[in-house]
Amino acid sequence: MSEKSVEGAQVIGKSIALLKFISAAGSDGAKVKDIAAALNMSVPTIYRLARAFEKNGWLERLDHKMSLRLGIELFALGVKAADAAGIRSIARPALVRISEEVGATVFLMCRNDHHVIVVDRVWAGQNISTLTDNVGSMVPMGVGAASIAIMSTLDQGDVEALTRANEPSYERYDLTRAVIAATVSDARERGYAETQSTLIAGLSALSIPVRNFNGVSTTALSVNLPTDFLTASRRTHIVELLKAEVDSIEKIVRS
């Protein structure tokens, strides 16, 4: 490989690492000094890459250029990627039906490495906050019912690797690896995940994974609703509704 090819590959690698780190920081963005420390990257290099991404709308600067967050054009690419994969268009009718039946906000969540991202949602007009309000929002694997549902389809070794990698992020959500492991175990036994938010009082969620041919999932449907609304009979109804819609989606995906 030529010297120019090596340099080009290194630039691509740094660019990918930069975008992933900023993506994990969410809407608040990532401080340049934190990026430099985490990625062992010089500040001038970060700014040089950022300028190129800014020109294309992939990044935007905050706080007088001291922080960076993902730009709208990169989000648009992500939405197109989800559409290209087919799952968003396949699942959309199911999200609408569930939301209308239950009167709750429904999410389509997909795994993205160590995180889960909102690919689509149908909002039911509830006056409650959620951990992932908008399409493109993401949380670490292990946080929220959708990621728990997805993790319940993985081997235990993979679950442990994910929680180990994400452990520094869990403090923000008042979670521990032990609590997450227990929640994943419960989801395996029940066939669905149920969580109560540790950050937003009175918020619960139910989620069912969409499995591939091998029984593993990278996608889940999730319903967010007030905890007071979640009586035993409603829980049963919502879980049955989710399972029926997931069964239909799996048949289409596997056909």
**Apex 133 CA angle, 211 and 89, nearest 5:** 45
Mean pLDDT by 10 residues, the chain (255 residues): 61 89 79 91 92 89 79 72 73 95 92 87 67 72 96 95 92 92 97 83 89 90 90 95 96 84
Asked whether residue 101 falls in the same domain as residue 210, the answer is yes
pLDDT at 39: 92
Together in a domain, 38 and 155 = no
Question: Are 186 and 118 contained in the same domain?
Answer: yes
What is the rounded CA–CA span in Å between residue 27 and residue 25?
7
The domain that holds 52 is classified in CATH as: 1.10.10.10
Query: Do 68 and 90 share a domain, yes or no?
Result: no
Structure tokens at 61: 């600067």
With contact defined as beta carbons under 8 Å apart, do 208 and 242 qualify? yes
- Looking at the structure, tell me whether residues 120 and 213 fall in a common domain: yes
pLDDT at 1: 46
Predicted confidence at residue 48, as pLDDT, reads 92
Domain shared by 41 and 124, yes or no: no
Task: Give the gyration radius of the chain's Cα atoms.
Answer: 19
Q: Which amino acid is at 214?
A: N
**Helix then strand then coil, % of the chain, to nearest 5:** 55, 20, 25
Domain that holds residue 91: 85-254
The answer to whether residues 122 and 185 belong to one domain is yes
Residue 108: predicted pLDDT:
94
CB 106 within 8 A of CB 222: yes
Has residue 1 been placed in a domain? no
**Which residue, 76, 94, 121, sits at the end of a domain?**
76
Counting the structural domains of the chain, the total is: 2
